[in-house]
Every structure is written in C-alpha cells, then in structure tokens.
Amino acid sequence: MKIAIDHHPARTHAPGVGRYSRELARALVRLDGVPADVELALTDVGKDKRTIGEPALGLVGPDVKRTPRVESSSMGRRMFQTLRRTADGLVGGCDLYHRMLPDWPPVGKAREAIAVAELFEPGSERDRALAAVLKRADAFAFSDATAKALRERYSLPDERIHKTPVGCDHWLRDLPPDRAKWPEKKDPPQVLVLGAIHPRRRPERVLKAIEMLRRERRTVHVLYVGPRTDRSDEFLRDRLGGSVARDQVLWNPNTSEDALARIFATSSAMIHLSEGEETAVTPLEGVAFELPVLASRIPAFEEDLTGAARLLDEAEEADPVALAEALKEALDGDGDEARAKRRAHAERYTWAACAEATLAAYRRIVERGR
C-alpha cells in the first residue's frame, strides 16, 4: 500500500493545515508496528516560499524508523502545470493521495482523501471547491460536528468519513521533559491569546475584560501572538490606542516556532474565543502546557475540552464583568491537582494517536476500493 501526502503546506506554513501535514508525516515515520507493505511518499508542489526546514519537518533522525521507505518529490508549480503532471504521477503512482487543499494539486488515478479542518461559507468559491473534491474523495474530520456537517451539507456517506484526533504535543518537544526545569512564569501574569487578531476571534471582548481588571487595579498582561494583518492594524490603532489598558497589552507578530514553547511555558492562562472552529487544537495547545484555558462553548470545543477548560456561553463571554471574573478565577484557582488533570487530558491528543488512526483509515479506504 503506497500513500502519498501533500507536504507542500508542511514546508511553507507554520500553523493550520501546514502543522497538520508536517506533524502527521513526522508521526507516521515514527510509528512502531507499521506493516512492511506500507510506503509513504511526500509531494511538495506549489508556489509558496519554503520557510520550514529541518529539524521542524522531523523526517530524519535516529528515531525515524522507516527512512528508506519515505520519498519526497518536489517540483515548482509552473513547471508542474507546464508538464501537465499529477501529484500521484510525481511519485510513480500511489494507492491513495492525502490532499490538504481541495483545489490543489491535481490528482490522476489514485483514490483521494482530504482533511477537513475548516468549513466555508455555503456557496462561496472555497465551499464549491470542497464540494467538488468530496464527490470523489473520503474526508478526515476532527470532530463529530464536522462529521455531521459533511453528511448533511455534502451528502457524504458515513463510510467515507473518518474521524481522527488532533495532536497538541508539538511544542512540548522544545522544552525539557522535566517540567520543573521549564522557565518561570511571567510576573505580572501573562495571558496568552494565540492566532491572528480577527473579529471572529473576538479580541474586543478580551480587551474589555482586561480593562475591567485595570479598573480594579489588578495588573494582568495580555500577549497577542499572531501575524500582522489589516484587521490587526485596525484593532491596534483604533481600539487599543485609546484603551486604559493599552500598557498591559502586548503583540508579537513575528514569533518563531521555536519561541512558542517558551511563551506557553511562561504564560499563566490562555483565552481562545471563537465564532466557530472545526478543531480544538489551539486551546488544546494551552492544555498541553497545563494552562487554565477559557474558550467559547462551540461544538468542537465542547467535544474535546470538556473537563479540561472553562467553556463560556455567549452571554458570559460577551459580558466584560463576567469574562474578567472568569479570568480571575482561572488565575487564582489554579493548583497542582488542576494542572495534573489538564496534563492527563492533553496526553490523549498526541500526533502519534492521530497517525495511528489515520493509518487505519488509509487501510479502510484502499481496501474498499479494491
């Protein structure tokens, strides 16, 4: 059985689908007990700049058990199109091509599967592209809510939907295994907000809560970590500039991957508000570092965060007083028992577990097509 994976996002984008592609391949080449008849091929075709290199790709090293069976084929997008190649043809053919994007790259004769970590506005161009590929491809879903949407919106039968867990242990690799040797927490306490500043992540609500704490003479710093965008510039200029808490808000748009482990370790809490997401990977990253996490009560978060994070109803997170109180409780009520509970919860969400479930799904897809 030969499986090919679109590895271009893994080499060009740190978060999102790039992390999924990178960590899945990294975990697959480290699995024990992988059948000898399984081959893994990675394709790298696209126009985005390659910014992720070793060791982040994790494809070499003494713990890689199947190095001779991993091939990587790269080609520039223009040449790929000019020669009218297909992704599966680039690796000499395969039984299954695991794509990351619905509209790229083109695939020839191989069966296809696609990871669905995001659902798009119905009728939009991206939604139409996903609908087109799902007419022939299986889908990997990371929550029951996504699986339900795939059935209802795209009429995908159950046998073509494969639920797998997400992983959240990637940044733990960059710190000592002994947590007593981790860097000290920031003082005043630092609250982490991870991801691009965008209205769908409700940065205004977080800022209002910090302003409430400021009026109570409680000093808490908020660190926004995410890329610079037009929306971030607008928020920082128009809203933060006149805020009473402006000196308590920090923004880091250029954080490197290897710096994030230290940022998580030195933070005391995490807030992740969202209008809707199909995976709980971001708040789970905070849980993996034993942080008390405040997150929106949305289906994917309820499924994977219940018991490990405080989920806020719409009314509670929209009320600055209630959100400020929830943040105070998170900071003041943390203890060894709560941290141990979060650590145990996060240990269920590893990239190794994702790889094992994905490999089992590969087998089902290929065997069904024979």
**Which of 270, 271, 274, 269 has the alpha carbon at shortest distance from 314?**
274
Going by DSSP bridges, is the β-strand pair 111-116/293-296 parallel, antiparallel, or unpaired? unpaired
In the chain the domains, ranked by start, together with CATH numbers, are 2-167+350-368 (3.40.50.2000), 171-346 (3.40.50.2000)
Chain length of the chain = 370
pLDDT in tens, 63-108: 776 544 556 778 888 888 988 899 999 999 999 999 999 999 999 9
Q: Which of 46-50, 69-73, 187-191, 328-332 has the lowest mean pLDDT?
A: 69-73
Q: In this structure, are residues 137 and 106 in contact, taking their beta carbons and an 8 Å threshold?
A: no
Q: What is the pLDDT of residue 75?
A: 84
Q: Mean pLDDT for the chain?
A: 92
Q: What is the pLDDT of residues 14-64, one digit of tens each?
A: 999 999 999 999 999 888 866 778 889 999 999 999 999 888 899 888 777
CA separation for the pair 95, 45 (Å, rounded): 19
Is residue 222 within 8 A of residue 249, CB to CB? The reply is yes
SS3 percent helix, strand, coil of the chain, rounded to 5, is 45, 20, 35
Report which DSSP code applies to 238: I
Q: Is the pLDDT of residue 127 over 90?
A: yes
Closest CA to 249 of 185, 319, 197, 322: 197
Give the containing element (helix H, strand E) for 40: strand 39-46
Query: What does the radius of gyration of the chain's CA atoms come to, in whole angstroms?
Result: 21
99 bridge partner residues = 114
Average pLDDT value for residue range 154-161: 97
What's the confidence (pLDDT) of residue 7? 95
Cα–Cα distance for residue pair 188/23, rounded to 1 Å = 34
| Residue 242: how many other CB atoms lie within 10 Å | 8
> Which pLDDT score is estimated for 66?
54
